[in-house]
Structure 1
Amino acid sequence: MNRSRTITAAILLILISSGAIAQVHDTVRKISSATGVIIDTVPPPPALPGLFADPNIAVFGKRFYIYPTTDGTEGWLSTNFTCWSSSNLVDWKNEGVILDLPRDLVWAKQRAWAPTIAFKNNKYYYYYSANVNIGVAVADKPTGPFTDPISKPLIAKGTKRGQMIDPMAFVDDDGAAYLYWGQGQCNVVKLNNDMVSCDTSKILSFKPPGYNEGPFVIKRKGIYYLMWSEYDTRDPRYSIAYATATSPMGPFKKAENAVVLKGRGAVKGAGHHSVVQVPGKDEWYIAYHRFKIPGGDGYNRETCISAMHFDKDGNILPVNVLLKIHPVKLK
């Protein structure tokens, strides 16, 4: 018999004979971990070192990128944005500060939250929350530096009900671009071709059941998936749900089994996500934050990545937040 199996069997016999049956399961899992068997009870380490939340994951060329919120201050008073890049989705390089509110903006100095990025017109357009407004910046490279082309918010606070935060830019197959955002309700508007302006009179607002914040849209096989975060980011129940439509403007119908990502075990407050598709493949990954492990809360969060799968009918399957991902090579 294999030596590791002999040891495992011996430990099981001791535990059972001593009446410690309740401890058997956990002990076997620890031994399995030592022998290289994949286990799903211990959370994987965060993707990024340190405290980062609201990650927007993207792929440009042969690299993946994450654009997060800098976390770790009560009240979320961060003042700048960083960019991280990776060639394999596992090993991440800090590309430094790409937008600093006090230095680069004339209309906001703090509350730098929840960015997103889109590529069009051979430029990179970076949308972000700043002091509860939505701004836009532009650069020639995904790592910046980004500059403010309009010197004012793109979507100012008070434009619609709820907070004007959590932007998400989606460029469709025909080149049309849409901006989604909003806490309390979801808003969407078609961006003008310049990507730095829109007609605010044409904003469509709606609220799927359970919607709170953090909208994100993907398109797969002609179906538009609107995903969002439910509950509050300080709530351990924070989670991700979705709805589908045949148009980027909806109407969106919430899925029957809509919650696809939530906390489990030591993972709490898992939400505010983004999704990336490996180019040329039906292979998807979801980036999100969770309470820092150990001792985290809604102001101390860390960024994670998990695989995301669909069933044969196009439904998003529940994401295993305890399963470690493997390196992904881009061609």
Structure 2
Amino acid sequence: MLISIWSPILLLCSLISLALTSNPAFPGWYADPEGIVYGNRYWIFPTYSAPFDEQTFFDAFSSPDLVTWTKHPRILDTNEVTWATRAMWAPSVFEHEGKYYFFFGANDVHEGEVGGIGVAVADKPEGPYRDILGRPLINDIVNGAQPIDQFVFKDSDGQFYMFYGGWSRCNLVKFNSNFTALVPLPDGSLFMEVTPQDYVEGPFMFIRNGTYYFMWSEGEWAGPDYRVSYAMSSSVFGPFERIGTILEQDASIARGAGHHSIIKVPNEDKYFIVYHRRPLNETDMNHRETCIEEMNFNNDGTIRPVKLTIEGVTGPALP
């Protein structure tokens, strides 16, 4: 009789326990997550969230369903990137012609210092990655934008661009064919400022139904009010008029929800937002966790506010 009474309760507790492990997506302090689909697996490339001078390497994580994750440790570190004397963070990744590219920021660069945006490449998503240039691709401060928080975007015509920038300024640049140099934009310049209202850092872009969605983080990354807002445009060049905030803290779940990326399920109108947040009981600014939620749209194409959850998500099986 005891078995018949307690077995369903134990099963329910077990299921609840499993659900509670879904957000964060995987254990450890990780931030600035870049999510992408490679083949039949979901991938996340985050910052190792630690005191600045301890962020000297990158781990990656892959999953068949956004629930069960495999860790791929130290896919790139400062032993390979010899000019990175301090932290590395905020990856941006993509595949092109069978090669896997990994952009990153390194060193807390100021005018006259060496640091900024670097680029590495590998033959497999899990690396190992090698530094292509042996120096930053972008080192200088242009239009007031610190060269950090890069996002590489492939337009519908196949051309690659990159949004980047800290210090509340954002630039757009265009790549040559092998991502080793910048080429002029349509107006002849190498750098185009595209800073929207309230922008701080962490740019991201995707296309849905012909509309360009430009997203970014606002607020202070170490504070509770870190958040994600967005704009919509008909062009990669903008203009980007701020529409509103779609991801922010929830006083019952977590604070500092921001610096995100978007995963689109191939061949489906289904999107997930991958972001970091700080648990309510944590005061250390580096104690950030990577989490995933589903992101949905209104009939007019605007993005619905995202609800922070403990349960997380399950992704559709990939072909």
TM-score by length of structure 1 reads 0.83
Equivalent residue number for residue 161 of structure 2: 178
What per-residue deviation string (whole Å, max 9, x for no partner) do you get for residues 33-84 of structure 1?
97989xxxx99630120100000000011001000000132x4641011111
Q: Would the alpha carbon gap of residues 262 and 78 (structure 1) be closer, same or farther in structure 2, given more than 3 Å must change? A: same
Separation of aligned partners in 1, 2:87 and 2:202: 16
Separation of aligned partners in 2, 1:231 and 1:68: 20
Choose which of 282, 285, 291 in structure 2 pairs with 1:298: 285
Equivalent residue number for residue 260 of structure 1: 246
Considering only aligned residues, what root-mean-square deviation do their CA atoms show, in Å? 2.1
Q: Give the gaps of 5 or more residues in structure 2.
A: 1-11, 109-115
Separation of aligned partners in 1, 2:304 and 2:68: 26
After superposition, residues 209-288 of structure 1 pair within 5 angstroms as 209-255=197-243, 258-264=244-250, 265-288=252-275
Separation of aligned partners in 2, 1:43 and 1:228: 27
Equivalent residue number for residue 102 of structure 2: 126
What per-residue deviation string (whole Å, max 9, x for no partner) do you get for residues 267-300 of structure 1?
1000000001000000000000001353244211
Contact 2:100 2:122 in 1 (8 A): yes
Choose which of 175, 195, 218 in structure 1 pairs with 2:179: 195
Contact 2:221 2:256 in 1 (8 A): yes
Contact 1:43 1:322 in 2 (8 A): no
Determine helix, strand or coil for the equivalent of 1:269. strand
Deviation, 1:173, is 2.2
Q: Give the gaps of 5 or more residues in structure 1.
A: 1-32
Equivalent residue number for residue 168 of structure 1: 151
**How many residue pairs were aligned?**
292
Q: Aligned pair 1:145/2:128, yes or no?
A: yes
After superposition, residues 37-56 of structure 1 pair within 5 angstroms as 45-56=23-34
Task: Please tell me the residue identity of whatever aligns with 2:28.
Answer: G
Equivalent residue number for residue 3 of structure 1: none
Moved over 6 A (4+): 33-37
Contact 1:179 1:190 in 2 (8 A): yes
Separation of aligned partners in 2, 1:297 and 1:242: 28
Separation of aligned partners in 1, 2:313 and 2:212: 27
Separation of aligned partners in 2, 1:77 and 1:325: 29
Is 295-304 or 137-146 further displaced after alignment?
Answer: 295-304
After superposition, residues 313-328 of structure 1 pair within 5 angstroms as 313-322=300-309, 324-328=311-315
Contact 2:151 2:163 in 1 (8 A): yes
Contact 2:23 2:312 in 1 (8 A): no
Is 57-66 or 160-169 further displaced after alignment?
Answer: 160-169
